[in-house]
Amino acid sequence: MERIDYNGERTSKALIDFAVRHMPSFVLKASKGGLDKALRASPLPKAVLFTDKKAVPPIAMALSTKVHAVSGEQIERIELSQLQ
């Protein structure tokens, strides 16, 4: 991982926002029709997060790196509104 210098404000919010923007992530959005295809693409383990959030939560980004390290696969993301 490359080093990134931080030159922003010295507040907790600014530091957290910076860290989240630079987190590695293997999260992909999946549409209702694309979920089956994504799940069948490989026999390796996957994690699926169903959420109605507009942005990917940082915890999901962190989890995606763990799943990727173990399986080489990506976490698939689909919004609940797409299933209705």
Tally of structural domains, the chain:
1
3 occurs within a structural domain = no
pTM exceeds 0.95, yes or no = no
Give the domain range for residue 55: 25-83
Give the contacts of 64 (CB within 8 A, at least 6 positions apart). 25, 26, 27, 47, 74, 75
12 occurs within a structural domain = no
Q: Helix (H, G, I), strand (E, B), or coil: what is residue 33?
A: coil
pLDDT 10s per residue in the chain (84 long)? 688 999 999 999 999 999 999 998 888 777 777 778 777 877 777 777 777 788 888 988 888 887 777 765 555 554 445 444
32 occurs within a structural domain = yes
pLDDT of residue 18: 95
